[in-house]
Amino acid sequence: MSKSTLTFILKFSLIATPCAALAEPAQEFRCSTDSLTPAKALQRLEWARKCGLLQNSAGPNNWFPSAAALDLTFQPAKEYRELNTNQAFSGSLHNYNVNFYYANGRYQDSTVFKVTQETLGATRNYFKWSHTVERPQPLYPSFEDTPVPASGTQLFPHPSLADCRLYTDRNGTAPIAGEFYMITQCESSCYAPDQSLRFGKGDVNIVEAMRDKRDDLITLTPDATLDNLATQTQKVYSYTTEIRDAENTIFELFTASGGLLRVTSEHPVVTGEGRLVKASQLAEGDELLKPDGTTDVITAVEKTTHFGKVYNIKPMSREPVANLLIAQGYVVGSARFQNDDVRYINRVLLFRSIPDDKIPR
């Protein structure tokens, strides 16, 4: 790899990150009323890319070299830009670049993608980016009729994604004819409604905590280790949930002590060795970490479904270890680890004196 190519990757690795607006309270409120399952999120991403290309670009031959990503030959990836910025399916933060928003929403942070020309479907002949590592919780676009989040009317695609119009109602009966803007990227939720989290005065059901606006969440301290699982009380940055019921895949982790942890498949869970992994990666014989520092062996893993709403929570701190919570008596990751800090999944977080660049990825 040439020095100039390496410089390109390092320079633009800062660009290929989730939309900065994702963490803003106004956008998160909008996401709570436009919540999708991961499968629906992928459908929304495909729809937005298709509509951006077909309704608002100069055609498949009018691509330009991306300033944010490379192809597998380390040349700038082929990109398309939306023309009418007042009726765009992509966002202003990354200059209405269609493939960037699609790839950023679907795949984990990367500056290198496989770029291929489509041969089938409505977007035949357009170039598309892909990657082998997908996000645990895809990011998908949400819309309003003004460019300032939460300042106008929230808009929705038709529930069947049958056209490229946006509607003021989720049933797709009231289309708009004017301006629309992608104002944020949303992510789906993780806790089943019967789960409890540790707050200042004990364990509280997450639905009750959200209803009561509990603001005394217990998390580990930034310097906590396996030898000293010190905790602290933090304010809550946000609660999120879906507006509609949907089917979610739930992993039930039964333990030797009689415990049970129920979370979605992608939810980050801390193992007995201090490693953060997705719930779907755990198996019988693995160990969960309890807040007193002891471990609890998983005796059975059952995969079930839950039809209804699931929930998420973020503490104020962005420090990785301070985003470890206590759910159903076990140490787990907060919502920040789904996407904002997805790079920490499968990493050991709770050992002392290990340089960050030496921690396994």
The DSSP line for 192-231 is -TT-EEEETTEEEEHHHHHHHT---EEEE-TT-BTTB--E
Mean pLDDT, rounded, for 332-353: 68
Q: Is residue 18 over pLDDT 60? A: no
Distance CA 296, CA 281 (A): 16
Q: Which CATH superfamily is domain 196-358 in?
A: Hedgehog/Intein (Hint) domain (2.170.16.10)
Name the more confident of 88 and 361: 88
User: Which of 58-62, 249-253, 336-340 comes out lowest in average pLDDT?
Assistant: 336-340
pLDDT-derived band at 239, boundaries 50, 70, 90: confident
User: Which of 158-162, 184-188, 213-217 comes out lowest in average pLDDT?
Assistant: 184-188
pLDDT at 23: 37
Q: Tell me the three state secondary structure of residue 27.
A: helix
- Residue 209, token pair as written in the block: 């905590």
User: Which of 142-146, 157-161, 205-209, 319-323 comes out lowest in average pLDDT?
Assistant: 205-209
Residues of the chain with CATH 2.170.16.10: 196-358
Mean pLDDT, rounded, for 201-213: 86
Mean pLDDT, rounded, for 287-297: 94
pLDDT-derived band at 341, boundaries 50, 70, 90: low
Q: Is residue 113 over pLDDT 60? A: yes
Give the angle 172-242-332 at the CA atoms, nearest 5°. Answer: 155
pLDDT at 10: 32
pLDDT-derived band at 14, boundaries 50, 70, 90: very low
User: Which of 28-37, 112-121, 236-245 comes out lowest in average pLDDT?
Assistant: 28-37
Nearest to 196 by CA among 179, 182, 177, 210: 210
Q: Is residue 8 over pLDDT 60? A: no
Dump pLDDT digits (tens) for 27-82: 666 676 676 767 788 999 999 999 999 999 999 999 999 999 999 999 999 999 99
Distance CA 92, CA 185 (A): 12
E strand or H helix that includes residue 25: helix 25-32
Percentage of residues of the chain with pLDDT beyond 90: 47
User: Which of 119-123, 171-175, 192-196, 322-326 comes out lowest in average pLDDT?
Assistant: 192-196
Mean pLDDT, rounded, for 339-355: 61
Query: Under a CB-based contact definition with an 8 Å cutoff, are residues 90 and 74 in contact?
Result: no
pLDDT at 305: 74
The DSSP line for 223-262 is T-BTTB--EEEE-EEEEEE-SS-EEEEEEEEEETTS-EEE
pLDDT at 274: 87
Angle between helices 38-56 and 98-106 (to 10 degrees): 170
Query: Under a CB-based contact definition with an 8 Å cutoff, are residues 102 and 113 in contact?
Result: no
User: Which of 133-137, 244-248, 327-331 comes out lowest in average pLDDT?
Assistant: 244-248
pLDDT at 22: 36
Residue whose token pair is 């089938």 = 120
- How far, in Å, are 28, 29, 142, 150, 181 from residue 44 at the CA level? 17, 19, 9, 20, 15
Mean pLDDT, rounded, for 128-143: 88
Q: In this structure, how many other beta carbons lie within 10 angstroms of the beta carbon of residue 49? A: 25
Range 259-294 burial, b when 16+ CB lie within 10 A, else e: bbbbbbbbbbbbbbebbbbbbbbbeeebbbbbbeee
Distance CA 29, CA 183 (A): 12
Query: Under a CB-based contact definition with an 8 Å cutoff, are residues 344 and 332 in contact?
Result: no
- Residue 288, token pair as written in the block: 């969960």
Distance CA 218, CA 267 (A): 18
Mean pLDDT, rounded, for 296-317: 83
Mean pLDDT, rounded, for 281-300: 93
Mean pLDDT value across the chain: 83
Name the more confident of 289 and 238: 289
What values do phi and psi take at 337, rounded to 5?
A: -75, -15
- Measured between its terminal Cα atoms, the distance across the chain in Å is 23
- Residue 264, token pair as written in the block: 């979605």
Q: Tell me the three state secondary structure of residue 181.
A: strand
The DSSP line for 120-132 is SSTTTT-EEEE-S
Mean pLDDT, rounded, for 110-138: 92
pTM summary value:
0.56
Q: What is the largest CA-CA distance in the chain?
A: 62
Name the more confident of 359 and 290: 290
**CA 268 remoteness from chain centre:** 12
Q: Is residue 240 over pLDDT 90? A: no
